[in-house]
């Protein structure tokens, strides 16, 4: 009886460890998707305001300009600074997998480039 209880305990311990690892991967993916949504949202607002932050054919450099901050030039957001303040540099590569760059616009890609 003790052997059966011991075996069940070991199996449960392995299963819980495996499940926690799976949960961590999902959490990292959701966090990267949320960061990508924040990047795209701020990028759209900055684009509408006429801010000069887009680097042709480089979403990495474009997002780095948003992290540094850019100023709106016209409309309701004239003079407003657009800056990604909550995004940590180590989170940028994960978030960029869910961002597409099309005709100078940052677009959200929920599939992360995997169709």
In a domain, 113, yes or no: no
In a domain, 11, yes or no: no
In a domain, 69, yes or no: yes
In a domain, 75, yes or no: yes
Q: What is the pLDDT of residues 40-86, one digit of tens each?
A: 999 988 988 889 888 888 888 888 888 889 999 988 888 889 998 88
Mean pLDDT of 100-104: 82
In a domain, 84, yes or no: yes
Domain span at 91: 29-108
What is the distance between the alpha carbons of residues 44 and 54, in angstroms, rounded to a whole number?
A: 11
Asked if the model's pLDDT at residue 37 lies above 90, the reply is yes
Considering its fold, how many domains does the chain have in total? 1
What is the distance between the alpha carbons of residues 60 and 81, in angstroms, rounded to a whole number?
A: 19
pTM for the model stands at: 0.76
Confidence band for 35, pLDDT divided at 50, 70 and 90: very high
In a domain, 99, yes or no: yes
The whole-number pLDDT of residue 84 equals 87
């Amino acid at each position: 009886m003790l052997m059966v209880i011991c075996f069940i305990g070991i199996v449960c311990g392995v299963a819980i460890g495996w499940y926690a690892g799976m949960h961590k991967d999902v959490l990292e993916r959701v966090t990267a998707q949320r960061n990508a949504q924040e990047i795209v949202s701020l990028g759209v607002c900055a684009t509408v305001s006429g801010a000069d932050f887009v680097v042709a054919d480089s979403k990495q450099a474009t997002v780095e300009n948003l992290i540094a901050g850019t100023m709106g030039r016209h409309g309701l957001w004239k003079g407003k600074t657009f800056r990604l303040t909550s995004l940590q540099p180590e989170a940028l590569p994960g978030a960029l997998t869910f961002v597409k760059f099309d005709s100078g616009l940052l677009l959200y890609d929920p599939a992360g480039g995997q169709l």
